[in-house]
Homo-oligomer: A and B are copies of this chain.
Amino acid sequence: MSSGHRTDSPCSAVSTLQVLSGKWKWLILYHLFQHPSLRFSELMRMIPGITQRVLTKQLRELEDEGIVQRTVYPEVPPRVEYAITPYGQSLRPILDLMHAWGLEHLRRKAERAQQEPQR
């Protein structure tokens, strides 16, 4: 950063986008950021519409990136908890910024839609 730009390959942000790419990933992170840890079934309930298959897949991807920690408790019935890793916490500023920007953006779109109701 500092003096500006062009310090290296232009593609570094792409990997960030990739980490966050996945229809439900931000929602998953959102909930995990608000709770120390959550069980698989709790996430299912908090994210209406997601299927087991997809929730599993996206959690595994986040785990592979080191963003989320998966802990299996060898009990019967099985219990698995997910939590943000310390490293995952470093994403927080970005997600906060995106949240704020997204809010503004939605507001803007709503205004535009009002200005030209029929098109």
CB of A51 closer than 8 Å to a CB of B: no
Residues in B whose Cβ lies below 8 Å from that of A12: 98-100, 102-103, 106
CB of A96 closer than 8 Å to a CB of B: yes
Given A33-B5, A94-B98, A97-B94, A27:B10 Cβ within 8 A: yes
CA distance A30 to B6 in the complex (A): 10
CB of A90 closer than 8 Å to a CB of B: yes
Indicate how many identical chains form the complex: 2
Interface SS of chain A: helix, strand, loop or mixed? Answer: helix
Which chain A residues in 64-106 approach chain B with CB under 8 Å? Answer: 65-66, 87, 90-91, 93-106
CB of A41 closer than 8 Å to a CB of B: no
18 contacts between A and B (CB under 8 A): A1-B99, A6-B34, A10-B27, A10-B30, A10-B31, A12-B100, A12-B102, A12-B106, A13-B26, A13-B98, A14-B26, A15-B105, A15-B106, A17-B17, A17-B20, A17-B21, A65-B105, A66-B108
